[in-house]
Structure 1
Amino acid sequence: MVDISDYNELVKAVLAISVLLTIFKFIFEKYKTIPKKAEKQPRRKSYGSSPDDPIPKPTPLYITPEQVKTRDDRPWRPFRWPYHQTMSICKLNINHWLDMDKYYYDYIKEKERVLHSYGPDNFDSLPGSEEACLELMETVKEHMLLRYPLLFTSKDNGVHVKNELTGEVLDFSLPLKENPLVYVSKMAKEDFYIVLQGEDGVHRLVAAAVPFPGGSFGIKYKLGKTLDVIHTEVPYYKEKLKPSMEKWFAKMQPADLVERASWYISWDHKLLLNNVYALKEGDKVETDIQPTQFNVRVERQTLRRLPKSRAIIFTNHPVFYSIEEMKDEPLVPSLIRKIIYEAPEGICKYKNFESFRDHILPYLNELVDRQIDLGLITAETPVKTLSTYPFALFIKESDDTKGWSNPKYPGNYSGEFKKEIETADVLEKETYARTAKMGDIIFAA
């Protein structure tokens, strides 16, 4: 006879097993619907794009030739403290690769003078650079037509392009009438350096249009040379800059565009040879030069790679800001004063600070005291890099369409520039031979 209690226990056990199986089935089905975790992707370097990334195209900016006459470019203030010798690069918006400002016409005319007076000393190329020079020319032409459709016009798809600012019609039909570097210099106000990597893996300067070096940059002494040779005179290049540059070049793709700015001080606006670099070694600035005449020459530089030739293109665009026009910008006089006295010794020597710093010190002291009196800073305000580095604080107050004129002290040195150029020729020729081996300023701090 079956014990009914044993039967009940058996039923309970079967029910329990059935419930457990149902629960396990539910969990299993649920687990199958959970998406698998994606495989971990290799982390892309922040400074290196993929070879497949598209090259950005500029956005049209519909400014007229008349608007350009009063237009200021972005206001640079590349003063850093603490001072470190680095590349100090930042990502470049393609819209600002070749900028436009009110000095454009004067700069283009000065390029013509330098080309006529010095020719291959400032404009030249080596055999083997032809493809890169042509690609640069086409890249610049395309950029100008897209970015500034009212300043550069064409009725035949770029075969002939009219520069509405100078009135010149550039004939791009083949065979070209002039070196591609000449065409580039008739469109853009920047200096251009073309660098190619050789079969030995070393980068060399193979072509350049450099009418505005500020010091002496004889192309015939630099073409074919490695970057190490070109930067021989640049302070701390081997220890600080070379590793960064080589790392960047190794990763750099055509979609990678960067910019930076360097600076030094002079008391003129000459583009080919500034007064501070025309001084003989050990000379001091003349005592009759007024401190208010001193200005900061900013070298605004860009770096990009061309997709076909794989050439690396450096550009350099100098622009001047008087110390006087920056006098009410908090900390700027303090930064300048500190840097010209306390920067590393090699930098002070390279930028020739010793030739003039004692001369303008009383002036800078007055400007710093003035900022304290106005409440712009206090005596205890730390002297450090501006929060808007490498630009002025008022950059936030305007945009591409309006431009960036100084809201308090708008300036225009075009008249002074023209007068200085009229008397420049003799001094240039005397100084050029003496300083022909001076290092360039592509990546000076």
Structure 2
Amino acid sequence: MSHQPMHINDWIEIDKDLKWYIEEKTRVINEQGEKVVDSLPENDDACGELLEILVDYLPKRFPTLFQRINCEGDGIWNKVTDERIEGVQGRKGVEALKVCARLVEDDFLMAREREDGHVYFTGGLVAFPGFYLLSEKINKSLKEAHEPVPYFNQKLLLSVERTLKRFKPNEPFERTSWEIVDDRNLFFHNIATTERELHEKQHPKDLFFRVDHQTFRKLPRSKGIIFGVHPIMKRLEDFEDSPLVPALISKLHEEGDKTLMDYKLASVYQGRVLPYLKDMTERQIQRGLIRGDEEVARFRELVEKIPSTQTSLVSPTESELAIKRANKELE
């Protein structure tokens, strides 16, 4: 697992669409229940500690967006949603996690080391996983939970588990992963369903390059391990003015490990995406944004080239509207 140390200021990211994210997360929680938010008894204290840390962190990191309230500071005011949440201390388990959901966009998958020396997933709030459910991971070991992931148990499991057991509360770190998805449904993308095919009305420009910013913290009191996940969605057409990025994404698909690319469902979309990306690259050459003979970088360098501002997910794409009209005509 390629990762790097994380500055604490980078733990939580706030997007201009925070209010939309919180409303969407609330909808998913109400509809999906324990599939997306749950906690084993051994994890309940860690949930409360996570909430306390968030309530302390947010007003310091984002003072214009959050404020502590009450004389004892036992509450927080989310100025974006204008919600005042009181009585933070003492909340545990799912109750605490649902308060976290009303504050930030990030998901939190939680784990801990058990007496057998292995790390197990023990709960969390995972409303925007895109491709899996919390209910499929909870109470499973790292090995069991990662059985579907190519090479993980064979090549990465021992080092990842060792890292998660040894790192300290003052040693947070981060990593990134990526997917190409076909809609704004952060809970479970259409491409992840059993059908796994693109609608004929789906234009490649309206596919999204999803980068998950994954953060890792260990709670000092409960020793809970916190996997934070913040999805960053960039519509492919919005890379038109990002020099070299379309060429880099093409290279990832053309030269990437086939087993890994199949796991990422590349075969579902790359027939439409690769020609589109190559056309975009040619336009960048014609516009003088790139020469066309640059040495193509590695993935970490690709992620660094992606603008930090993501595509707004508030409004549907043209393809989404076209698909909706087509489905309505079939009714």
TM, length-normalised to structure 2:
0.89
User: Which of 301, 307, 312 is the aligned partner of 2:220?
Assistant: 307
Aligned partner (choices 278, 284, 293) of residue 380 of structure 1: 293
1:315–1:284 Cα change, 3 Å: same
1:226 is aligned, of 141, 148, 170, to 141
Distance 1:272 1:393, change over 3 A: closer
State the secondary structure of the residue aligned to 1:129. helix
Shift of 1:354: 0.3
Tell me which residue corresponds to 2:314.
414
Instruction: Work out which structure has the larger RCO, using CA pairs closer than 8 Å and 6 or more positions apart in sequence.
Output: 1
Going from structure 1 to structure 2, the CA distance change for 1:412 and 1:115 (only over 3 Å counts) comes to closer
Q: CA deviation at 1:159?
A: 1.5
Provide the C-alpha distance between the structure 2 equivalents of 1:371 and 1:420, rounded to a whole number of angstroms: 27
Aligned to 1:106: 20
Q: Which residue of 1 aligns with 2:105?
A: 189
Is the deviation greater in 148-157 or in 265-274? 148-157
The corresponding residue for 1:322 is 235
Q: 1:274 aligns with which of 180, 189, 200?
A: 189
**C-alpha separation between the residues in 1 aligned to 2:294 and 2:300?**
14
The percent of aligned pairs where both chains have the same amino acid is 31
| Alignment partner of 2:75 out of 154, 160, 177 | 160
**Alignment correspondent of 1:198:** 114
Cα contact 2:48–2:91 (8 A) shared by 1: no
Choose which of 235, 242, 246 in structure 1 pairs with 2:157: 242
1:405 & 1:354 partners in 2: Cα distance? Answer: 28
Q: Any conservation in 1 of the 2:245–2:306 contact (CA below 8 Å)? A: no
1:228 aligned partner, one-letter code: K
Residues 386-434 of structure 1: per-residue CA shift (max 9 Å, x gap) = 785532276xxxxxxxxx548xxxx5332228x979x99xxxxxxxxxx
Aligned mate of 2:11, from 97, 108, 112: 97
The runs of 5 or more residues in structure 2 that have no matched partner are 325-331
Measure how far apart 1:263 and its partner are.
0.9
**Could you tell me whether the CA contact under 8 Å between 2:111 and 2:120 is conserved in 1?**
yes
Partner of 2:180: 265
Change (3 A) 1:157 1:362: same
SS at match of 1:128: helix
* Deviates further, 233-242 or 316-325: 233-242
User: Residue 197 and residue 250 in structure 1: after superposition, are their counterparts in 2 closer, same or farther (change >3 A)?
Assistant: closer
- When residues 328 and 258 of structure 1 are mapped into structure 2, their CA distance, relative to the original with a 3 A threshold, is same
Q: Deviations over 1:10-34 (max 9, x none)?
A: xxxxxxxxxxxxxxxxxxxxxxxxx
Q: Distance in 1 between matches of 2:254 and 2:247?
A: 11
Contact 1:294 1:322 in 2 (8 A): yes
**In 1, distance between residues paired with 2:36 and 2:53?**
21
Q: Is the alpha carbon distance of 1:251 and 1:326 closer, same or farther for their aligned partners in structure 2, counting shifts above 3 Å?
A: same
- With over 3 angstroms needed to count, the CA separation of the structure-2 counterparts of 1:128 and 1:325, relative to structure 1, is same
- More deviation, 385-394/373-382: 385-394
Name the counterpart of 2:253: 340
Match of 2:328 in 1: none
The CA deviation at 1:273 is 1.0
Quote the Cα distance in structure 2 between the aligned partners of 1:192 and 1:390.
22
Larger radius of gyration: 1
1:119 equivalent to 2:33? Answer: yes
In the aligned structure 1, how far is the partner of 2:255 from the partner of 2:301?
22
Distance 1:155 1:250, change over 3 A: closer
Superposition RMSD in Å: 2.5
Aligned to 2:329: none
Taking the aligned partners of 1:173 and 1:296, their CA distance within structure 2 comes to 36
> Which amino acid letter does the alignment assign opposite residue 276 of structure 1?
I
Aligned equivalents of 1:310, 1:226: Cα separation in 2: 17
CA deviations over 1:114-150 (Å, ceiling 9, x no partner): 1111111110011111221111111111111221222
CA distance in 2, matches of 1:173, 1:353: 44
Q: How many residues align?
A: 320
1:129 maps to which residue? Answer: 43
Larger strand share, 1 or 2: 2
Q: Give, in whole Å, the separation in 1 of the partners of 2:219 and 2:143.
A: 22
The match for 1:79 is: none
Aligned to 1:63: none
* Distance across 1 between alignment mates of 2:312 and 2:42: 42
Which ranges in structure 1 are unaligned for 5 or more consecutive residues?
1-86, 395-403, 425-445
Q: Match for 2:315: what amino acid?
A: G
How far apart in 2 are the matches of 1:307 and 1:175? 17
Does the Cα contact within 8 Å between 1:265 and 1:276 map onto a contact in 2?
A: no
Deviation at residue 270 of structure 1 after TM alignment:
1.2
- After TM superposition, give the deviation of residue 254 of structure 1 in Å: 0.7
Letter in 1 for 2:167: M
Is the CA contact (8 Å cut-off) linking 1:270 and 1:420 kept in structure 2? no
CA contact (8 A) 1:287 1:359 kept: no
Structure-2 residue corresponding to 1:427:
none
CA contact under 8 A between 1:285 and 1:359: conserved in structure 2? no
